[in-house]
Structure 1
Amino acid sequence: MQSTLGIGFAGAGPVTQAIHLPTVARLGGEFTVRHVTDVDPAVAATVAGRLGASHSTSIDVLLDDPHVDVVVVCSPHRFHAEQVIAACRAGKRAVLCEKPLVMSVAEADAIAAVSAETGVPILVGAMHTFDPGWRAAQAAWGDLPARSHTIRSSIVLPPNARFEDLATEVLSRPALPSVDRSDPEMVAGLLHALVMGLTIHDLPLIRSLLPRYDDLRIVDARVLEPYGYRIVFVASGKVVELHAVLSQTWEPDWVLEAYADDQVLQVEFTPSYVHAGSAVSTLSGGGEARVFGPTACNGYEAEWRELAAVVRGETAPPKIEELVDDVRFALAVADAAADSVRKTEVAA
């Protein structure tokens, strides 16, 4: 039996190359990359060659590899459901799927069913949920979820390439999509994609501050130039503001805030591709401020450490029902915001 856990990557794009592989390397003897699959044979061969791993262009070949204990799904979103389900049915010891887990409620329900049937644990790589700075604040905030009235997520980032190139030599990367801003359907589709690709990092955290979201109502939704959004909605009597802009010229800034009448939570995250330690969380109230972080361990490293602990039976896996509810919430926000901006664009 392998002394380290064998990893198979389904998808070898920038997230695999610039985030996961450097993180796995820092963990020493916990994991060994055994197989890399990518639809681009040159990318699969080159990334695998750097690691001394096998490579292929087929998920089936990866799943048949007896050296692969854990499958890490880093493919485009539309392939997540089928690949997670296939990994569970192949009897692998765990699956780590990049966010979002799936792109529809039906897919989420299918994954919940197969996870229950096979017993294969599933983790979702929404790294902020694992971040030690966030988790420390969550453990200390008391009844803030019940008392908070305003939640705000603000993300200002340059395009990923700036930080990808600092982490590694990225072999290939997708271009930002070209969108006809005069077409309401394309504008709505862009907003939906931004929520499911970027806001998704913070949506599980926001959900933990909302007692319920079945009464979600969009107040304002719009796409910002060059790539970004502003979405304001109300749920559980709370106002939630989501703001993001991708710009070459602004300094990165990623902040999540929650406000109650007598308490404020502020969490400052590092950009996704920057391996710079945990978030810094500040809980202010009652005339004092408690600060949590930074620690050397960032959210990506924490998620990989939790993955190892789950596979080795040292900690319980995340409840699949919670992961499914995260997806339902994200889709509720994305669908409602896209519908709102579609109607606005048509009216204009």
Structure 2
Amino acid sequence: MSSHSDATRTLGVGILGAGPVTQAIHLPSLARLGDLLTVRHIMDVDPAVAESVAARVGAAHSTSINALLEDPKVEVVAICSPHQFHAEQVIAACRAGKKAVLCEKPFAMNAEEAAQISAVSEETGVPIIVGAMHTFDPGWLAAEANWGSLPQTAHTIRSSIVLPPNARFEDFASEVITRPAAGTRDYTDIEVIKGMLNGGIMGLAIHDLPLVRRFTPDFAAVEVLEARIVRPFGYVISLRTPTRTIELRGAMNNTWNPEWSFEAFSDDEALRIDFTPSYVQAGSATATLSRAGTTIVHGPFEHNGYEGEWRELAAIASGSKQAPSAQTLIDDLTFALHIANATAARVDADHQTAQAIREGAHP
């Protein structure tokens, strides 16, 4: 094949933010997809980081979003910056006329930002996907192709995440969570508790909330029954809707056996999906479907959602696949934000109740 045809079929990638997620997840995935995508430009506010990471892949580097967006070799943009910058950068990439945008979750911090992104995407015609990697995992997709009516009939849904606290996750958690420096966390401080729970939901559980929502037709009516932290970092959150019981569990501790699973149960069917731990590049999730005394396992497949999201982006940018509707992305984000807000409200209510009991016992 000629070099000209190679150039026309390989999409140029620009990455905003060159932190651990870019270095340990996206660059290895893109290295395996050289027939589809080529990293052309890396931007980071730290010039030394931008230069060093770009040098690994032979890309241009800068400290300016405008320099990256104005680079004619950049056709698709990945937004891997701190989450408070996501919305403005997604909008800027759309207005720059790029072919597609991949944004790390959450793609917005509130419903107003999400609505702005949706409007700009519709106005410019630039498709957006959010990097909830499990929705692109071949194991999840195989389950989707075979689960039949389970999303309508399921009554219990569970997301369970147990991970070791490696340095990358500590860095990630410290960015997400509003809390004192490590080692001085006050587990009795109501604001620290709410910060930890919010960080758990918007930083960890958010990976699986689109999956939970898929099995929760009445997701708009979700309410939080119980929310508590798990030390040193984790959460247990029990929720319900009129037709569903939902449990979200997450913990980062000194485990030797990481586990990341999603489960859904109806009266006569069960689905369990076992995902690979974060930062693991090889192999997909496995999906186990049980019904009427039979059990069928799908997977593992050759790649997981880290590579899957880039394959999806390439297909969308080249026009061979349609992007998910902006409404789906907004609904996923609204669901996560609602759970985060309702969890904070539940913690406040429980705290006030406990305080009233204490004051009643000690007038």
Q: Decide: shared fold, TM above 0.5.
A: yes
Q: Deviations over 1:157-200 (max 9, x none)?
A: 012437x9xxxxxxx95673534323212221221121011001
Q: What is the TM-score with the length of structure 1 in the denominator?
A: 0.94
- Residues 80-109 of structure 1: CA deviation (Å, up to 9, x unaligned): 000000000111111000111111011110
Counterpart position of 1:297: 303
Distance change in 2, residues 1:236/1:24 (3 Å): farther
Q: Which amino acid aligns with 1:124?
A: V
Give the conservation status (yes or no) of the 8 Å contact 1:211–1:236: no
Give distance in 2, aligned partners of 1:96 and 1:263: 35
1 CA distance for matches of 2:349 and 2:16?
Answer: 38
- 1:255 is paired with a residue whose SS is strand
1:208 aligns with 2:219: no
The residue aligned with 2:112 is 106
**Structure 2: gaps spanning 5 or more residues:** 356-363
Partner of 1:145: 151
Q: Name the SS for the 2:157 alignment partner.
A: strand
Higher-Rg member (1/2): 2
Q: Which residue of 2 aligns with 1:335?
A: 341
Q: Does the CA contact (< 8 Å) of 1:266 and 1:283 recur in 2?
A: yes
Q: Deviations over 1:199-241 (max 9, x none)?
A: 0110000100011222211110011100000000001421000
Opposite residue 288 of structure 1, the aligned amino acid is T
Ranges of 4+ aligned residues in structure 1 off by more than 4 Å: 172-175
Q: Which amino acid aligns with 1:56?
A: S
Task: Please report how far the alpha carbon of residue 65 of structure 1 lies from its aligned counterpart in structure 2 after TM superposition.
Answer: 1.0
| Structure-2 separation of matches of 1:111 and 1:74 | 16
Shift of 1:61: 1.3
Aligned residue among 37, 49, 60 for 1:54: 60
Q: 2:284 aligns with which of 265, 269, 278?
A: 278
Q: What letter corresponds to residue 19 of structure 1 in structure 2?
A: I
Give the whole-Å Cα distance in 2 for the aligned partners of 1:297 and 1:22.
12
What corresponds to 1:168 in structure 2? none
Which residue of 304, 308, 313 maps to 2:314? 308
Cα–Cα, structure 1 residues 174 and 269, in superposed 2: closer, same or farther, change >3 Å?
closer
* Cα separation, 2, equivalents of 1:144 and 1:10: 39
SS of alignment partner, residue 210 of structure 2:
helix
State the Cα RMSD in Å: 1.7
Cα distance change of structure 1 residues 246 and 94 upon mapping to structure 2, 3 Å threshold: same
CA shift in 2, pair 1:175/1:244, >3 Å: closer
Please give the alpha-carbon distance, in whole angstroms, between the structure 1 residues aligned to 2:290 and 2:206: 26
User: Which structure 2 residues correspond to residues 241-252 of structure 1 after superposition, within 5 A?
Assistant: 241-252=247-258
Structure 1 match to 2:92 = 86
Secondary structure at the aligned position of 2:45 is classed as: coil
> Which of residues 4, 7, 12 is equivalent to 1:6?
12
By how many angstroms is 1:343 displaced? Answer: 2.9
Do the aligned partners of residues 83 and 160 (structure 1) sit closer, same or farther apart at CA in structure 2, a change above 3 Å counting? Answer: farther
Post-superposition Cα deviations, 1:234-264, rounded to whole Å, max 9, x if no partner, equal 0142100000000123420111100111000
Q: What letter matches 1:112 in structure 2?
A: S
Q: Which runs of 5+ in 1 are unaligned?
A: 165-171
Residue number among 42, 50, 57 corresponding to 2:48 in the alignment? 42
The code of the aligned residue for 2:307 comes to E
Contact 1:233–1:240 (Cα < 8 Å) also in 2:
yes
Equivalent position amino acid for 2:207 in 1: H
Matches of 1:159 and 1:40, distance apart in 2: 25
1:17 matches 2:23: yes
Which residue identity is paired with 1:69?
E
Residue 263 of structure 1 corresponds to 269
Across the two proteins, how many residue pairs are aligned to each other?
340
Q: Is the Cα contact below 8 Å between 1:220 and 1:233 reproduced in 2?
A: yes
Name 1:253's counterpart in structure 2: 259
Letter in 1 for 2:304: N
CA contact (8 A) 1:187 1:342 kept: no
User: 2:201: which partner in 1?
Assistant: 195
Q: Which moved more, 1:117-126 or 1:57-66?
A: 57-66
Match of 1:225 among 218, 221, 231: 231
Distance 1:118 1:160 in 2: 40
Within 5 Å, give how 1:106-125 maps onto structure 2. Answer: 106-125=112-131
Once residues 47 and 76 of structure 1 are traced to their aligned partners in structure 2, the CA distance between those partners, rounded to angstroms, is 17
Q: Deviations over 1:64-83 (max 9, x none)?
A: 11111011000111110000
